[in-house]
Amino acid sequence: MTRLLLWRHGQTAWNAGGRVQGQIDTPLSETGLAQAAAAAPRLAALEPDVLVASDLRRASATMAALAALVDVPVTYDPRLRERSFGEWEGLTHPEILATWPEAFERWRHGEPVDDADVEAVDALSKRMTDALEEIVSTAPPGATIVVATHGAAARHATCALLGWPQSLASTLGALLNCHSTDLRFDETRGWQLAGHNLP
């Protein structure tokens, strides 16, 4: 059975400040670097066979902490980036609410957002699942794969891989910084959820 761990990046100053990052290339904060360093040994103990990261710095720097402990090369894939939040990127929730109140409420309730150039969930899910299925299909049978990615991207990808409606993404709860979602795949049963928000 193939094991796929979707590992959210460590904290950034924008996470701490409540700013929407999307695809803006923010670096890890000192806290985020410490989180990655603390989490990496636990993942290294799983003896990963494949390491892939989003090309955004917060994800690639998180993966670097794990790569330093294992003899596995890292590849980078822009399809693993966070959801693009268009005009909302860099803004706090109150700032978004002040300008786009109806769209903000739809977003909070997991409903489609058609404003401000926010990436559609279907588009996010497709690019994520295209990338993840390609990674799994080219990995050795029974591999353990660690993918460093982003919170919303990981939640929506999890729903898509499991065949759940995207409206259920919010029921998974937030994926905390440097926590992971553990998915398993075999040819008979397909995708299964083994754990979520694991430290």
Mean pLDDT of 119-133: 97
Q: Is the pLDDT of residue 167 over 90?
A: no
* pLDDT in the model for residue 118: 97
Name the maximum alpha-carbon separation found in the chain. Answer: 50
Enumerate residues 6+ apart whose C-beta is below 8 A from 145.
Answer: 2, 3, 4, 5, 48, 49, 50, 51, 52, 135, 136, 139
**Confidence band, pLDDT 50/70/90 cuts, at residue 170:** confident
Task: Assess whether 109 carries a catalytic annotation.
Answer: no
Mean pLDDT of 170-174: 89
Answer whether residue 15 shows pLDDT above 90. yes
Is the separation of the CB atoms in 119 and 142 below 8 Å?
Answer: no
Q: Which of 47, 82, 111, 196 is catalytic?
A: 82
Averaged pLDDT score across all residues of the chain: 97
Q: What is the pLDDT, as a whole number, of residue 4?
A: 98
Does the pLDDT at position 110 exceed 90?
no
Banded model confidence at residue 89, pLDDT cuts 50, 70, 90? very high
Secondary structure element (H or E) that encloses residue 148, with its range: strand 144-149
* pLDDT for res 57: 98
**Average pLDDT score over residue span 139-157:** 97
* For the chain, percent of residues with pLDDT exceeding 90: 93
Cα dihedral: 23, 24, 27, 31 (round 10): -70
From the candidates 9, 150, 156, 179, give the one annotated as an active-site residue: 9
Task: Say if pTM beats, i.e. exceeds, 0.85.
Answer: yes
Residue 44 reports pLDDT greater than 90:
yes
102 belongs to the catalytic site = no
Whether the predicted pLDDT of 30 surpasses 90: yes
Q: Does the pLDDT at position 36 exceed 90?
A: yes
- What tokens appear for 153 in the block? 């991207």
Structure token digits, residue 141: 């049978």
C-beta atoms surrounding 174 within 10 Å: 12
Indicate left, alpha or beta for 116 from its phi (over 0: left) and psi (-120 to 50: alpha). left
